[in-house]
């Protein structure tokens, strides 16, 4: 039985997006306003496409939450696509010119679709809106347990805005990034990045980048070394790479491991009665052997530029086999800030799942009490 198991459905220009979530802990107070706030964060950012001017995402709670509290029953959420009204009676031309870097061609071959719109409607990043809604429910559960999450953008289009997050609390990161049009922790790079985005807009191009996610107060021992499928970093990697256009992930110092010695990489262990076991560094990113080690969990994701270009690359028509410019679809120029918000809410599901594996499924108070009592009588801790 998988805790907080969910499945989404819906297309980019269909009636809407929906999700059904099973095994949600009872006793969590959550409102549509709370979920809508997370949805609004996903829609912000300089360089977003025209769709953001049409949609103001708003969730409807269909089931599983009564009088503002989860009941333990499956939760169903729905987001209406406002753009559906502009499409439902429209004669839509078939798409036969796949975009390089998109799911169009391979999806059309796999599912034998003569109209590639049947592929792009579901493969679109529009689907991430309903995953944010589902993640918001998990995130609210984590708040009950004292666990907090934040993210910030490191790089856009090759402009490096990295800062050491260890000198910032989660609350400080949230405040600084919410006030930034690119969700930067280093606000001094904002104008330089804006100039680059404007240049990409004028050139009909797009930009990628990277963002980091940080998670505080995750208890020691979430995940497992004994079974590969239960390693927490493996599960987070799966979830992050399932987000559209995310192509790579690193935990802790990540790619730097290839250039350092063991003495430069590993976090020395110390002990005192007040703190228990602790480390003065956190190069592992809060995860060792597939398990949380009690330090801040952090990882960085790398996002490719959006493949829909206003100045398209060359492609081949699937019917005539002639070369053409690929199709143009309304799209973002840069979506790295939005992807960081998606990642925050998606990873909340992973953290909650592993907590539920260890501490129970039924009610949030049972989980919270179990965390408090864990290791209480374990003699050498």
The domain locations on the chain are 5-373
Q: What is the per-residue DSSP string for 20-88?
A: EEESPPBS-B--HHHHHHHHHHHH-STT--THHHH----EEEEESEETTEE-SSPEEEEEE-TTHHHHT
What confidence score (pLDDT) does residue 313 get? 84
pLDDT at 63 over 70: yes
Rounded to two decimals, the pTM is 0.94
Sorted by sequence, the CB contacts under 8 Å of residue 145 that are 6+ apart come out as 217, 355, 364, 367, 368, 371
What confidence score (pLDDT) does residue 237 get? 98
Neighbours of 170 (CB within 10 A): 17
What confidence score (pLDDT) does residue 130 get? 98
Among the four given CATH numbers 3.30.465.10, 3.60.150.10, 1.20.1530.20, 3.40.50.1000, the one describing domain 5-373: 3.60.150.10
Q: What is the pLDDT of residues 1-16, one digit of tens each?
A: 789 999 999 999 899 9
Q: What is the mean pLDDT of residues 167-193?
A: 96
pLDDT at 31 over 70: yes
Q: What is the mean pLDDT of residues 152-161?
A: 97
pLDDT at 306 over 60: yes
Q: What is the mean pLDDT of residues 108-135?
A: 95
What SS3 string covers 95-137?
CCCCCCCCCHHHHHHHHCCCCCHHHHHHHCHHHHHHHHHHHHH
What confidence score (pLDDT) does residue 53 get? 56
Among the ranges given (62-76, 85-99, 248-262, 268-282), the one the predictor scored with the smallest mean pLDDT? 85-99
pLDDT tier for residue 87 given thresholds of 50, 70 and 90: low
What confidence score (pLDDT) does residue 234 get? 98
Average pLDDT, the chain: 93
What confidence score (pLDDT) does residue 56 get? 85
- Contact in structure between 20 and 90 (CB atoms under 8 Å): no
Q: What is the pLDDT of residues 218-246, one digit of tens each?
A: 999 999 999 999 999 999 999 999 999 99
Whole-number CA gyration radius for the chain = 22
pLDDT tier for residue 91 given thresholds of 50, 70 and 90: confident
What confidence score (pLDDT) does residue 122 get? 95
What confidence score (pLDDT) does residue 285 get? 98
- Contact in structure between 285 and 305 (CB atoms under 8 Å): no
Of 174 and 49, which is predicted with more confidence? Answer: 174
């Amino acid at each position: 039985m998988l805790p907080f198991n969910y499945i989404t459905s819906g297309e980019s220009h269909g009636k809407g997006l929906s999700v059904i979530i099973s095994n949600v802990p009872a006793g969590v107070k959550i409102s549509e306003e709370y979920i809508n706030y997370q949805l609004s964060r996903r829609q912000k950012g300089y360089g977003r496409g025209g769709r953001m001017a049409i949609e103001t995402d708003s969730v409807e709670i269909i089931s599983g939450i009564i009088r503002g509290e989860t009941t333990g029953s499956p939760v169903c959420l729905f987001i209406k696509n406002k753009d559906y009204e502009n499409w439902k009676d429209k004669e839509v031309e078939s798409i036969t010119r796949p975009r390089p870097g998109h799911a169009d061609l391979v999806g059309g071959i796999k599912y034998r679709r003569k109209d590639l719109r049947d592929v792009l409607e579901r493969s679109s990043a529009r689907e991430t809106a309903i995953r944010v809604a589902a993640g918001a429910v998990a995130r609210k559960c984590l708040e009950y347990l004292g666990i907090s999450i934040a993210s910030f953008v490191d790089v856009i289009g090759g402009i490096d805005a990295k800062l050491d997050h260890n000198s910032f609390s989660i609350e400080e990161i949230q405040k600084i990034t919410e006030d930034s049009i690119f969700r930067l922790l280093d606000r001094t790079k904002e104008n330089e990045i804006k100039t680059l985005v404007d240049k990409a807009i004028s050139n009909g191009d797009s930009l990628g980048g990277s963002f980091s996610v940080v998670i505080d107060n995750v208890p020691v021992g979430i995940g497992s070394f004994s079974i590969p499928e239960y390693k927490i970093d493996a599960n987070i990697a799966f979830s992050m790479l399932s987000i559209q256009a995310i192509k790579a992930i690193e935990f802790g110092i990540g790619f730097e491991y290839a250039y350092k010695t063991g003495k430069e990489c590993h976090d020395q262990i110390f002990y005192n009665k007040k703190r228990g076991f602790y480390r003065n560094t956190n190069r592992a990113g809060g995860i060792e052997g597939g398990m949380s080690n009690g330090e801040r969990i952090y990882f960085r994701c790398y996002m490719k530029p959006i493949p829909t270009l206003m100045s398209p690359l060359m492609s081949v028509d699937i019917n005539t086999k002639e070369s053409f410019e690929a199709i143009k679809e309304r799209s973002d120029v840069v979506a790295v800030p939005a992807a960081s918000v998606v990642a925050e809410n998606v990873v909340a599901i992973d953290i909650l799942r592993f907590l539920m594996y260890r501490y129970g499924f039924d009610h949030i108070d049972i989980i919270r009490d179990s965390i408090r009592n864990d290791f209480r009588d374990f003699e050498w801790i």
